[in-house]
Structure 1
Amino acid sequence: MQVSGTDDGRIRPADPADVERSLVEWLRGELEDPDITGADNFLDIGGHSLTFAKLNQHLSDSFGAVLDMKTTYEEPLGVAVTKIQPVESAMPTTR
């Protein structure tokens, strides 16, 4: 399910459970680690800035949403997913 409009014009965010499943599957393939779960920290599993950019491209293409870099680096993946933002409203994170 992508981020989409509703009948009243508001944006409906993607279901975090769907996003988390997709994110975990993508990371398992990208990092060649079948044991990655939503409880893992992105950096602890070997993620880095290029992986983050590719992951956000995957989520943008699949759900029209992106993760916040600071939250993704500091929190478990499952927490980061609860703070996804529609692509149109996401602010670039450079810190």
Structure 2
Amino acid sequence: MKKSYSSLSVAIEDLQKEGYTEDFNLVEEGIESKNLRKKWKAGELDVVKYYRFEGMTDPGDNTILYLIETKGGVKGLLVDAYGADQSVVSSAMIQKLRINHAK
């Protein structure tokens, strides 16, 4: 796992090789894996690390790649193109995904 990556696609490829193979999607109470047909609430997962990618032409066009591990040991990636949307995602999940710059 590198400190930074040149692009989102390079990061995904490298991190999948390191075992972060599941493709997670945000849902109201947490995340889901369509492949595994399973959902996890915010309290059932940890954000291990995140990477931010900003658009070259539009600074507002950013993407955050989250490395997530569930309490059951499932490791995967969550790509969030615009940051957590409060109208769709629970407050517990927003807190889980909040980026703490003090770390």
Which one has a larger percent helix, Structure 1 or Structure 2? 1
**Same-fold status (TM-score > 0.5):** no
Bigger fraction of residues in strand: 2
Higher RCO, 1 vs 2 (CA within 8 Å, ≥6 residues apart): 1
Q: Name the TM-score, length of structure 1 as normaliser.
A: 0.30
